[in-house]
């Protein structure tokens, strides 16, 4: 099932963000013996009935009223040169994408997805009071698909949303998503956390870890909008959806970058505009005793440390893929065992460029340890 990012070219007409809240219908016995219908807003905290003595969880209506003013509509223009073989000069083609975002603080910082503002030359942000202002991209991290925008605060009544604790989220927890699907401003959808610790592929080809899966309806244009828990705090940034064959809309499988990831990358995005990540420089696959190193591109930290890639190809009988044999088997990084490239990615992610790390290898039946100075990850996933 293909996974799609949620930004779309801005084609749909912008309509008001009308929301119809769900209600809970019940019956109660009146004093005169008649039956009275009671209509009350269903609390999102499904584990606590509204009739209990302690205060119930916030309703979807409550959360929308509090959070919707902090959700923005992002429009990003980009210019792409295209040239036909029958033309002498290239043509400039303008693209307009729309997505969502939300206010981070009263300094005018706004969070959205990196793919919403990718290669943009002009970004504009619309608020709930219909004001539209120009925005500047001050930080972008395609590896986590997050970007920070900055707007001038004069004349704006900013309503920041609070980041929650995505580590405490559990499957089955009720959630709310607010965004601008198909250009329909500040649309609310509800659902639950469907799964945790999913892995997505970022625009650069690297993996985004610990992603939250939800069944709340997400559609093109929801990109960058908040996924909120029952207290109204942001636990994730809506980023991608899974679609069926030939479909482009929601099939009930959406994915959000967790708030923990936002907290980790936000300081660097706001201060230096990008996130520096460590890089070793190998391609490999899971083997019996560790990670079989298939290739080591020249000039990488792994090459400088003396790691060797394979020199002959074979067919993997399990899946028919081509395996490159003859290279080192990486067994440990910094004393921690590795079983596949996901382990390599995870262990390297805890370090910084310029740090040295001990690599334990098996080569031609011998065990050896080498030291590598980590570099900075390049822009695309050629190797890890």
The rounded Cα 119 to chain-centroid distance in angstroms is: 18
| Nearest residue to 7 (alpha-carbon basis) of 136, 71, 101, 126 | 101
Strands 356-363 and 329-333: what pairing?
antiparallel
Report residue 24 as tokens. 């809970």
Q: Does the active-site annotation cover 229?
A: no
Catalytic residue among 115, 141, 166, 328: 115
Token pair recorded at residue 369 = 């340890």
Query: Given the structure tokens 């190809």, which residue do they identify?
Result: 313
Active-site entry in 100, 194, 223, 250: 223
| Contacts of range 272-277, beta carbons closer than 8 Å, 24 or more positions apart | 272/139, 273/138, 273/139, 273/140, 274/139, 274/140, 274/141, 275/141, 275/143, 275/144, 276/352, 276/353, 276/376, 276/377, 277/143, 277/349, 277/353, 277/376, 277/377
Q: Which two tokens stand for residue 239?
A: 């980023």
The counts of H helices and E strands in the chain are: 4, 26
> Rounded to 10 degrees, what is the CA torsion of 379, 111, 191, 39?
-170
Strand pairing report for 109-112 and 91-103: antiparallel
In this structure, what token pair is assigned to residue 380?
């695309």
- Catalytic, out of 45, 62, 145, 328: 145
φ, ψ of residue 262 to 5 degrees: the values are -60, -50
DSSP 8-state code for residue 59? B
Active site residue 115: yes
Give the integer Cα–Cα distance in Å for 366 and 384. Answer: 24
**109 is known as an active-site residue:** no
- Find out whether 265 and 258 touch, Cβ atoms under 8 Å: no
Residues annotated as part of the active site: 115, 145, 223
């Amino acid at each position: 099932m293909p996974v799609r990012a949620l930004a779309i070219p801005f084609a749909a007409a912008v309509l008001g963000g009308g929301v119809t809240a769900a209600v809970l219908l019940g019956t109660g016995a009146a004093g005169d013996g008649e039956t009275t219908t009671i209509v009350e807003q269903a609390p999102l905290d499904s584990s606590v009935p509204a009739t209990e003595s302690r205060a119930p969880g916030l309703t979807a209506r409550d959360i929308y009223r509090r959070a919707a003013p902090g959700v923005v509509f992002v429009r990003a223009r980009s210019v792409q040169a295209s040239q036909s073989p029958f033309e002498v000069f290239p043509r400039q083609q303008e693209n307009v994408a729309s997505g969502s975002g939300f206010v981070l603080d009263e300094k005018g910082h706004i969070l959205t997805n990196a793919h919403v503002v990718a290669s943009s030359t002009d970004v504009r942000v619309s608020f709930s009071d219909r004001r539209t202002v120009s925005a500047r991209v001050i930080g972008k991290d395609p590896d986590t698909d997050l970007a920070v925008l900055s707007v001038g605060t004069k004349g704006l009544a900013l309503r920041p949303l609070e980041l929650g604790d995505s580590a405490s989220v559990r499957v089955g927890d009720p959630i709310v998503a607010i965004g601008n699907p198909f250009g329909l401003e500040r649309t609310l959808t509800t659902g639950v956390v469907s799964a945790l610790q999913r892995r997505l592929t970022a625009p650069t080809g690297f993996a985004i870890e610990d992603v939250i899966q939800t069944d709340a309806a997400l559609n093109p244009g929801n990109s960058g909008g908040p996924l909120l828990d029952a207290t109204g705090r942001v636990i994730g940034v809506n980023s991608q959806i899974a679609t069926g064959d030939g479909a482009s809309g929601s099939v009930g499988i959406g994915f959000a970058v967790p708030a923990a990831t936002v907290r980790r990358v936000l300081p660097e995005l706001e201060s230096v505009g990008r996130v520096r990540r460590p890089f070793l420089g190998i391609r490999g696959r899971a083997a019996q005793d560790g990670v079989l190193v298939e290739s080591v591109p020249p000039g990488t930290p792994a090459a400088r440390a003396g790691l060797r890639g394979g020199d002959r190809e074979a067919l993997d009988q399990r899946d028919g893929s081509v395996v490159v044999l003859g290279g080192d088997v990486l067994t440990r990084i910094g004393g921690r065992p590795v079983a596949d490239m996901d382990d390599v990615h995870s262990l390297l992610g805890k370090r910084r460029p310029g740090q040295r790390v001990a690599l334990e290898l098996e080569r031609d039946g011998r065990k050896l340890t080498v030291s590598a100075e980590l570099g900075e990850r390049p822009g695309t996933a050629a190797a890890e």
